[in-house]
Structure 1
């Protein structure tokens, strides 16, 4: 091939690797989770800010009432999981684009996923173990919590 020959753009630069293409699945996850997050976040905002008393109705009793039903627990947990994984995957892409050395890149990516896993675990525990009746009980919950 001479210097004045243009290579066909569809010619593979390197042989294709066998196995799962994680970049492709990460790309597909970002698109799917993005669409689902739009629905979850706008549903969350609509229920919390538009229904009832709006912003004035947001207090501890409102959250306790929402987390008393499994539907809202799962809604918020799915939103939490998707948002954290989506954001971490986006940060991983940025690290891959701008960090040129393999050592620091690996350290940063591991740190991102460890922090995301910790926040997912902590947030899930908070949602599913939320107990509004731990003393002192607010006046708004006095009728709900056993004495």
Structure 2
């Protein structure tokens, strides 16, 4: 093949090893479907069940975060959402940032920020204690004494 010959359009380029872009593309589709189920389930329970939106207050959130089912529901939503968003931002950066060093720096920043937010969010969900800092003058005093 000489320099003036081009491959036919859509000729598959075979590379050895894992195809990160393919897995990223597949992740976006699967996580998108799961996020739709998780988000609409979250909205339905919070806005439609029981007293609806009128029931949402600190006690409602504290009650949900005390239940392991809802902890894992929220953590799964958090993880999928942040990774989905970070992967989307990575794709945008790869498409539009031409300078390779700037692109690499931005992709690293996106990954670090997403990882940090996932860790912090997970810690909040699993270590949430509504009784920290409650005093006798607080409205939560009676519930925290039980």
Q: TM-score, normalised by structure 1?
A: 0.88
Task: Note the alpha carbon deviations across 1:30-84, whole angstroms, 9 max, x for none.
Answer: 0000000000000000001111221111100001110111000000000000000
Given the alignment of the two structures, is residue 85 of structure 1 paired with residue 83 of structure 2, yes or no? yes
8 A contact 2:82–2:114 mirrored in 1: yes
Dislocated runs of 4+, deviation >4 Å: none
Consecutive unaligned residues of structure 2, counting only runs of 5 or more, are none
Which 5+ residue runs of structure 1 have no aligned equivalent? none
Q: CA shift at 1:7, angstroms?
A: 5.6
Give the direction of change, closer, same or farther, for the CA distance of 1:7–1:100 in structure 2 (3 Å limit).
Answer: same
Confirm or deny that 1:11 pairs with 2:14.
no
TM-score, length of structure 2 as denominator length? 0.89
Aligned residues: CA RMSD: 2.0
Shift of 1:144: 3.0
The aligned residue for residue 121 of structure 1 is 119
Q: Distance in 2 between matches of 1:47 and 1:142?
A: 27
